[in-house]
Structure 1
Amino acid sequence: MPGRAERGRATLKDVALRAGVSVPTVSRVIAGNYPVATATRRRVEKALRDLDYVANTHARALRGHGAKTVAFVLSDVRGPSFAQVAHGIEEEASRRGRLCLLCVSGGDPARELEAVHLMRQQGAEAVILIGSVVDDEPYRRTMAALARSLDRSGSRLVLVGRPPLGEAVPATVVEYDNEGGAHAITGRLLAAGHRDVLLFGGDAALTTSAERLAGYRRALADFGVPHRDALVEKASFDRGEAYVAMRERLARARDFTGVFALTDAVAAGALRAITEAGLAVPDDISLVGYDDVPPATDLRPRLTTVHVPYEEMGRTAVRLALDRHGPAASPADQHVLLGTRVVLRDSVAPPPTRPR
């Protein structure tokens, strides 16, 4: 008959049996406030690791007061898209009587892992990870292990704006049609007559950028326009750094008539550099963005961009995680792809006919 450690959250008794010691001895090792023989402590620590035990005293205290929590980890609270996802999470969690716990990783995978372990210890019902990643084998192994660890403790790993880890991994995935949006917005420039379209911003090693690059290349192929590596310019998603990168690009060569900026913030930086170079958008250079966050309507001209339903992603993440054991739930419901759409404004025109 399987022990409790195999069926769910490991207990002190499970750890004591594995280590061959008493429950009080396990408690002493965890607390670290009572002398325990070195060999005994090592056996207990190994059993704790093997059984994936979490000393969850704070979470038990929260539950005793009726508080339930949803946790989320994002790279930067200042990013408009992150803020919109966070608002959707908070809105849905509050509607369901949950408190929200927030951690900021700064884009550091190690800090993200630490945050997930902390949230697990706090007894969060769901741990939601938001934003782009390097989708390699080490990342997938780590995330799969985290998903299983959270599942054993009764929690749920939720990936927002990230690719799935595989059908056997107990995780919820909320994506948006990132590549499709990039294909559509690039097609808008191509349909206007542009054939020299600069893809500006991002890092192809990260999933968000890679998918937008794939959509850009697919649109070029659909219009019979050859892809040119020279028209892919890497730049930070930071507005200020994008400004510097576009200024340097214009100083090297003005070999494009249209720009697909990978985010609206990148587009804002690019617009400033283009304007300072004595050029006009869209008369000299057409410019489009991605996200449809506030800068898109604050810019002049107003920015043509791709609308991403960020708040809906946050609400959906909470809803799916908390309802996964409901009577109408099914495994297929735990992977959702939301749509994107192009928002036409004022920043695209046919390419200039006069010599550049």
Structure 2
Amino acid sequence: MAVTLADVAARAHVSAATVSRVLSGNYPVAEDTRARVLRAVDELDYVVNGPASALAAATSDLVGVLVNDVADPFFGIIASAVQSELGAGKLPVVCNTGGSPERELTYLTLLLRQRAAAVVITGSAVEGGTGEGGADGEHAEAVAARIRRLAANGTRVVLCGRPAAFAPPGTALTLEFDNTGGARALTEHLIALGHRRIGYVAGPADRTTTRHRLDGHRAALAAHGLDGDAGRLTVHGPYDRGSGHAGALELLRREPELTAIVGANDTVALGVGAALRERGLSVPGDVSVAGFDDLPFSADMLPSLTTVALPLQEAGARAARLALGLEAAPAGGAAVLPYELRIRQSTGPRRS
């Protein structure tokens, strides 16, 4: 017998109307209630029959693109490239999660309900500790369950910038960025310029991208015996300008003799530069500054920003082709895209 809305409501100990609100995504529902409903949907393997129920065995022309923040140029470039590559034959729907694990699960459930032809999931995954949606291990399992169901229904799933380990084997294709290698090359560049006291403004501690970039940074420090103060000279925050500004001030408080600061991304580095100017310090005369991603504004900063360029446009376009089945899957179902170190005017030799 097919699982009904009432079955889900009984399992989640809520009303059928509440289940409907959660699945529609159009009404406010308490986060713990939403989590219980979505867990019951997974446990019962429930899929809503919409108006197109007669076509349940088929997929629609809809392609979902999950992004952390569409206003962030990193995600905007990827989403734009996906949409351009899809052309007029498919309907791209950009789902802005705002970094919320619960919203990510909700959008995946809605895309499953709509029998999406493909889903492209961009950005890093949550790992370790506890998050908004409960234990992050539970969130990873819930995402994996939805990816498994999407794939079983004929939906092509592509992870773009998210590690392959976060999807069940054989359910998704993966395009990863070499965040660790790029971060190591960036810090090696600063060390080659004579810098020994290097601060790092990292992203949120529970994100895979944060960990991979921090791993690369610390690997470079360790290779030169400079990792003794790595923990003290690292601060965490969001991937935004405010985090860079606050992080730079905190690092200078901890170590006034810093000669270089690395931002987790270019937007963070922008905030770092602003904080240094407020303190009367010049870039790179007093402190060198570097970023990551090579976002469009990076070359136009004053001074222009040294950064690690990631092929965001290429990644988005390739993700779309994989989602449409227009490009052969990479060997083993996953590919690591190369980075390029862009050395500009924001980094220079250590001050004497």
C-alpha distance in structure 2 between counterparts of 1:200 and 1:297, whole Å: 20
Q: CA deviation at 1:63?
A: 11
**Structure 1 match to 2:94:** 102
Alignment coverage as a number of residue pairs: 312
Displacement of 1:49 = 6.5
The aligned residue for residue 280 of structure 2 is 278
* Equivalent-residue separation in structure 2 for 1:47 and 1:75 (angstroms): 24
Letter of the 2:311 counterpart: P
Instruction: Kindly report structure 1 stretches of 4+ aligned residues shifted beyond 4 Å.
Output: 46-49, 58-64, 328-331
Give, as a single letter, the amino acid of the residue that structure 1 aligns with 2:224. Answer: F
* CA deviation after TM superposition for structure 1 residue 239, in Å: 0.6
- AA matched with 2:268: V
Once the two structures are superposed, the pairs formed by residues 218-229 of structure 1 within 5 Å of their partners are 218-228=219-229, 229=231
* CA RMSD, Structure 1 to Structure 2 (Å): 3.1
Matching residue of 1:234: 236
Please list the CA deviations of residues 71-125 of structure 1 after superposition, one character each: whole Å capped at 9, or x if unmatched.
Answer: 1111111101010111111111117x21201111111111111011111222211
User: Retained in 2: the 8 A contact 1:67–1:99?
Assistant: no
Alignment partner of 1:118 is 2:105:
no
User: Identity over the aligned pairs, expressed in percent?
Assistant: 35
After superposing the two structures, state which structure 1 stretch, 165-174 or 80-89, moved more: 165-174
Cα deviation, residue 212, structure 1: 0.6
Contact 1:123 1:155 in 2 (8 A): yes
User: What TM-score results when the alignment is normalised by the length of structure 1?
Assistant: 0.79
> Does the CA contact (< 8 Å) of 1:265 and 1:295 recur in 2?
no
Distance 2:254 2:225 in 1: 27
Q: Distance in 2 between matches of 1:231 and 1:274?
A: 16
1:15 match: 2
- Residues 1:164 and 2:173 aligned together: no
- What are the residue-to-residue correspondences of 1:187-198 with 2, within 5 Å? 187-198=188-199
Q: How does 1:166-205 map onto structure 2 within 5 Å? A: 168-205=169-206
What residue in structure 1 maps to residue 141 of structure 2? Answer: 141
1:130 to 122, 140, 146: 122
Query: Deviation of residue 62 (structure 1)?
Result: 12
- CA–CA distance in structure 2, aligned partners of residues 187 and 59 of structure 1: 57
Give the match for residue 9 of structure 1.
Answer: none
Aligned residue number for residue 11 of structure 1: none
* TM-score (normalised: structure 2): 0.80
Unpaired runs of at least 5, structure 1: 1-13, 20-28, 33-45
Judged with a 3 Å threshold, the aligned counterparts in structure 2 of structure 1 residues 57 and 272 are, in CA distance, closer, same or farther, namely same
**8 Å CA contact retained: 1:157, 1:171:** yes
In 2, Cα distance between the equivalents of 1:331 and 1:183? Answer: 25
**CA apart distance, 1:248:** 4.0
Gaps of 5+ in 2: 7-15, 21-39, 129-136
Q: Describe the superposition over 1:19-42 as per-residue Cα deviations: whole angstroms up to 9, x where unpaired.
A: 9xxxxxxxxx99x9xxxxxxxxxx
Contact preservation (8 Å) 2:248, 2:261? no
Aligned to 1:55: 49
Alpha-carbon contact 2:322-2:329 (below 8 Å) kept? no
For residue 233 of structure 1, report the CA deviation from its aligned partner: 1.7
Moved more, 72-81 or 224-233: 224-233
* Corresponding residue of 2:11: none
Deviations 1:207-249 (A, max 9, x none): 1110011000111122232341111122321112321332344
Q: Which residue of 2 aligns with 1:338?
A: 337
